[in-house]
Structure formats: structure tokens, C-alpha cells
């Protein structure tokens, strides 16, 4: 039975995405004022991020299953899921471009940066914690 680590990662990332959405919206209010289009863009971008992460989870689980069953992973399957994730993003961004009076395309892109922000911040904070622990010894 495959591990459920990717599902836990997705849940943790999506919890942080809610706070990052709120922070991004509050920052946008300072520059753009209160706009529904920016909020809708963040909402659509976060939905695209969730779908993309779920596709990534399925891809990882399938590749894990292939590796266990056949001793190798399928490059074709990996590329197929990668293309699907890019397609989901293109659909979300394309919808925002078509409806740019109602949905901010810039706001749709911002949630795609959340995994990088979360994991970079996590690495920085874990390093600083471990470095302080080493100094005490």
C-alpha cells in the first residue's frame, strides 16, 4: 500500500495557501484598493494549484506502483502528468485572461509560487533552528 505522505503534504500546503492568499490580498489592497477581481484571481489560482498538486500526487503514486511492479518508472506517464498539470494551469490562466475584467490574471499566477515560498521558508527556519542547536554543544 503506498504511503500517504503526498496527501499530508498537500493538506499542509493548502492550509498555508489560505494564509498566503489572505496576505497577498491584503498587500494588493494597499496598491490596488479593494477589488473583487484580485480576490477571484487568488481563488482561481489556488484551485489550479490544488488540482495541479492532486495530479502530482497521482503521478507519484503511479510511478511508485510501477517501480514496485516492474522495477522501473514510466517516463511516458511522468510526461503525461506533467503535460496535464501544465494544461490545468494554462486553462486557469487562459480563463483569467478571457475574463480579465472580472478575474485578475496576475492573481492567478501568485498561488503557483506558494510551494516555493513555503518550502524555502521551511528550509530556512529548520536550518536556523539546527544551527543554533549545534552552537550550544
CA–CA dist 133, 82 (Å, integer): 40
**pLDDT value of position 96:** 93
Mean pLDDT over each residue of the chain, to the nearest integer:
85
Condensed to tens digits (0 to 9), the pLDDT of residues 6-59 reads 788 888 889 999 999 999 999 999 988 888 999 999 999 999 999 999 998 888
User: So what's the pLDDT on residue 130?
Assistant: 52
Nearest residue to 16 via CA among 107, 99, 118, 113: 118
Lowest mean pLDDT among 31-35, 76-80, 116-120, 127-131: 127-131
- DSSP at 72: S
Backbone conformation region of residue 85, classed left if phi is above 0, alpha if psi is from -120 to 50, else beta: alpha
Which stretches of 5-72 are DSSP H helices? 5-32, 36-70
Predicted confidence band at 137 (pLDDT cuts at 50, 70, 90)? very low
Residue 75 C-alpha cell reads as: 517516463
How far is CA 114 from its chain centroid? 6
Q: Which residues are CB-neighbours of 114 under 8 A, at least 6 positions away?
A: 13, 16, 17, 20, 49
Boundaries of every domain in the chain: 5-108
Spatial separation of the C-alpha atoms in residues 102 and 80, rounded to whole Å: 32
Amino acid at each position: 500500500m503506498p504511503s500517504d505522505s503526498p496527501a499530508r503534504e498537500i493538506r499542509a500546503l493548502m492550509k498555508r495557501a489560505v494564509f498566503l492568499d489572505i496576505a497577498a490580498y491584503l498587500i494588493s489592497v494597499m496598491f490596488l484598493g479593494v477589488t473583487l477581481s484580485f480576490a477571484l484571481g487568488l481563488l482561481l489560482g489556488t484551485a489550479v494549484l490544488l488540482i495541479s498538486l492532486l495530479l502530482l500526487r497521482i503521478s507519484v503514486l503511479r510511478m511508485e506502483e510501477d517501480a514496485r511492479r516492474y522495477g522501473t518508472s514510466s517516463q511516458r506517464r511522468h510526461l503525461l502528468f506533467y503535460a496535464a498539470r501544465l494544461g490545468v494551469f494554462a486553462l486557469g490562466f487562459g480563463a483569467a485572461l478571457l475574463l480579465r475584467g472580472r478575474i485578475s490574471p496576475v492573481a492567478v499566477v501568485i498561488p503557483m509560487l506558494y510551494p516555493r515560498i513555503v518550502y524555502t521558508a521551511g528550509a530556512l527556519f529548520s536550518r536556523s533552528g539546527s544551527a543554533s542547536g549545534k552552537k550550544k554543544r
